[in-house]
């Protein structure tokens, strides 16, 4: 039998397949709070419960899992170029009452002022919620576990990469950026260490423009065009004394 013949006779329904979904944790930092996007479900199961952004993989529409994640994300936030990272996949029979499901988990970083919320089909409401609050709510499916995994990943990355810059839009001062890091980590960072790292990472450039506020103006920076996130070889302290 040739490969062609084999494929012609191949029966995709011979094997019972799990359903396949993508769920994303959309992070933003606003008012010194790390927040995530929650969607109020307007359909069964878990009708009326808050959930993460997610949906089924559509094999006709999506070219890849990343594409599914981006599609859902754009639908709900209106933002199309987030930092998006796959975290893991979870599969099992008990996670969804409809049966065996595989869900691939992503997290995205979106600058707060780029958000344009839209609950979308099958949902009645969408809101940004602080991490503390979200972890205290009863979320749909195993979304609390998912949230915890993403949170852990983001916090770890804040310790050894420049990733959180993706929560900033346009020009920003180093103090503003440091505040973002501190919000994510949940503790303060030594200003000197932070500036040394960021300026040494070769990923930022001065804009030449100063941020004029009520006190001493600060230099503003922007992400250098075309640079990938910088990985430091030494971590920041993870728990502050």
Chain centroid offset of residue 81 CA: 12
Judge contact between 73 and 82, C-beta under 8 A. yes
d(CA 24, CA 14): 31
Binding mask 135-174 for DNA (x = CB under 7 A): --------------------------------------xx
Q: How far is the CB of 176 from DNA (least distance, A)?
A: 7
Residue 17: strand, helix, or coil: coil
Judge contact between 120 and 36, C-beta under 8 A. no
Interface with its own copies by CB under 8 A: which range of 29-37, 72-80, 82-90, 170-178? Answer: 82-90
Rule CB under 8 A: is residue 68 a binding residue for its own copies?
yes
Name which of 31 and 214 has its Cβ closer to DNA. 214
Pick from its own copies, DNA, none: which does 200 bind, CB < 5 to 8 A by kind? DNA
Q: How far from each other are the two terminal CA atoms of the chain, in whole angstroms?
A: 68
Name which of 1 and 239 has its Cβ closer to DNA. 239
d(CA 169, CA 155): 20
Residues within the interface to DNA (CB under 7 A): 173-176, 189-193, 195-197, 200, 210-211, 213-219, 232-237, 240-241
């Amino acid at each position: 039998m040739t490969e062609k013949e084999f494929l012609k006779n191949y029966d995709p329904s011979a094997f019972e397949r799990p359903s396949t979904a993508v769920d994303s944790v959309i992070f933003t930092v606003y008012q010194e709070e790390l927040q995530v996007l929650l969607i109020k479900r307007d359909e069964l199961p878990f009708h009326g419960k808050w959930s993460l952004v997610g949906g089924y993989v559509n094999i006709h529409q999506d070219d890849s899992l990343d594409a599914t994640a981006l599609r859902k994300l754009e639908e709900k936030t209106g933002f199309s170029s987030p930092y998006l990272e796959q975290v893991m996949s979870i599969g099992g029979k008990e996670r969804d009452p409809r049966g065996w499901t595989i869900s691939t988990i992503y997290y995205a970083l979106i600058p707060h002022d780029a958000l344009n919320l839209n609950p979308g089909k099958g949902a009645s409401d969408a809101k940004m919620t602080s991490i503390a609050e979200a972890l205290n709510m009863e979320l749909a499916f195993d979304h609390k576990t998912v949230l915890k995994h993403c949170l852990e990943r983001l916090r770890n990355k804040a310790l050894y990469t420049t990733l959180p810059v993706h929560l900033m839009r346009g020009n920003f001062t180093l103090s503003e950026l440091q505040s973002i890091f501190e919000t994510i980590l949940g503790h303060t960072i030594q200003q000197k260490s932070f500036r040394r790292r960021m300026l040494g990472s070769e990923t930022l450039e001065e804009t030449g423009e100063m941020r004029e506020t009520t006190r001493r103006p600060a230099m503003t920076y922007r992400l250098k065009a075309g640079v990938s996130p910088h990985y430091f070889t030494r971590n920041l302290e993870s728990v502050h004394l």
